[in-house]
């Protein structure tokens, strides 16, 4: 038999529980994908378009060793550099309603980041590391029907990752169409979907070992529309890798140029990257620093790396014969 006081207590508890908001659905998505040797990187949210309800939560799992962020900026916010955050970084489980930016730190394989969406709207998803890696989250009222379930998104993510990583057209022809003593420092392709942009990048020097003679000049070109690379001989620079080392000059056609006469020479190209995408209504983008040249004056074997992606295996060497 329930005593009156106990009955009152139970009634109050049930009333309080009824007043609490219902727990939303937990959704899952992925950030990035990579080939087994890490050379091919899918710079993509997988999938990059998701429909959910207000009060739902999405957890993104990072599946690549190239760093990415999960970032929601506010309308009109100037895009910040990724080390700054937006500014600062959010803890996993942060809430987003469009009024205040939310961003994960740069994460890699095995890490995850969750966002709770507390207001209806269509919110752009970006990576602060890769400027053309975007998506959209459609947050609908709880009364609205959702077009897809988690199984659909899982299949779509796997299909998109496979398509990007096995895309053959960006890799063919680059060995044959290039002049002698010119090395491609990465290649890539941007793919557009209704939800945003995805990029596949090859984090490799396409001629990882090149034989030249003393006095020859080797040139590296970056053929990737998004990803910067460096050509770094000797010690990696400390701090910001964007600027070139002090022994680098500029040729008349805008290419950077240095001379190496010893394996003890430290030469760093800084960022070699294509010009930003042109957009109507915005100032014209400057010509990018897309080429780097080195003249080798003495015989020897000269190993080098991309200081940004050597952990992914982006390394090479120049063998200089007398």
Supply the DSSP symbol for 272: B
Angle subtended at Cα 239 by Cα 209 and Cα 204, rounded to the nearest 5 degrees: 25
Mean pLDDT of the chain: 91
In order of their start, the domains of the chain are 21-165 (2.60.40.420), 182-278+286-321 (2.60.40.420)
Compare 8 and 133 and report the one with higher pLDDT.
Answer: 133
d(CA 20, CA 23) in angstroms, rounded, equals 9
Three-class secondary structure of residue 5 per DSSP? helix
Given the structure tokens 């590391």, which residue do they identify? Answer: 129
| Rounded percentage of the chain residues whose pLDDT exceeds 70 | 90
- The pLDDT of 213-240, averaged and rounded, is 94
Q: What is the pLDDT of residue 19?
A: 40
- The pLDDT of 194-215, averaged and rounded, is 95
pLDDT one-digit tens code per residue, 124-163: 999 999 989 999 999 999 999 999 999 999 999 999 999 9
Residue 283 has pLDDT above 70, yes or no: yes
Is residue 108 within 8 Å of 125, Cβ to Cβ? no
Is residue 228 within 8 Å of 271, Cβ to Cβ? yes
- The pLDDT of 194-212, averaged and rounded, is 94
Question: What band does 21 get if pLDDT is binned at 50, 70 and 90?
Answer: very low
d(CA 286, CA 269) in angstroms, rounded, equals 18
Supply the DSSP symbol for 223: E
Residues 6+ away with beta carbon under 8 Å from 6: none
d(CA 61, CA 31) in angstroms, rounded, equals 6
Burial of 23 (0-12, 13-18, 19+ CB in 10 A): exposed
Residue 11 has pLDDT above 50, yes or no: no
Residues 6+ away with beta carbon under 8 Å from 301: 263, 317, 318, 319, 320
d(CA 259, CA 108) in angstroms, rounded, equals 36
Residue 220 has pLDDT above 70, yes or no: yes
Q: Which of 85, 81, 30, 64 is nearest to 228 (CA)?
A: 81
Strands, E, within 9-151: which ranges?
26-34, 40-46, 49-53, 57-62, 71-72, 94-96, 102-103, 112-117, 121-126, 134-140
């Amino acid at each position: 038999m329930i005593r009156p006081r106990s009955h009152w207590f139970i009634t109050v508890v049930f009333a309080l529980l009824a007043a609490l908001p219902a727990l939303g659905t937990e959704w899952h998505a992925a950030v990035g994908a990579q080939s087994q040797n890490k050379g091919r990187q899918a710079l993509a949210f997988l999938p990059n378009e998701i429909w959910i309800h207000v009060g739902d939560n999405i957890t993104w799992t990072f599946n690549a060793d190239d760093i990415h962020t999960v970032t929601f900026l506010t309308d009109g916010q100037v895009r910040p550099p990724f080390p700054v955050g937006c500014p600062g970084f959010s803890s996993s489980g942060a809430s987003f309603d469009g009024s205040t930016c939310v961003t994960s730190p740069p994460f890699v394989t095995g890490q995850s980041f969750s966002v709770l969406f507390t207001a209806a709207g269509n919110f752009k998803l970006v990576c602060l590391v890769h400027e053309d890696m975007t998506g959209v989250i459609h947050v609908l009222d709880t009364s609205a029907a959702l077009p897809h379930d988690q199984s659909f998104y899982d299949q779509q993510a796997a299909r998109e990752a496979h398509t990007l990583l096995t895309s053959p057209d960006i890799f063919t022809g680059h060995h044959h169409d290039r002049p002698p003593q010119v090395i491609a420092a990465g290649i890539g392709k941007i793919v557009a979907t209704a939800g945003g942009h995805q990029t596949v990048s090859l984090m490799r020097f396409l001629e990882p070992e090149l034989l030249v003679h003393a006095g020859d000049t080797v040139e590296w070109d970056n053929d990737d529309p998004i990803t910067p690379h460096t050509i770094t001989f000797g010690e990696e620079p400390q701090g910001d890798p964007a600027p070139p080392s002090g022994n680098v000059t500029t040729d008349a056609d805008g290419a950077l140029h240095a001379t190496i006469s010893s394996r003890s020479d430290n030469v760093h190209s800084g960022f070699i990257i294509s010009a930003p995408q042109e957009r109507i209504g915005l100032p014209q983008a400057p010509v990018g620093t897309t080429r780097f040249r080195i003249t080798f004056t003495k015989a020897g074997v000269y190993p080098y790396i991309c200081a940004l992606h050597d952990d992914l295996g982006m390394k090479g060497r120049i063998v200089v014969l007398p």
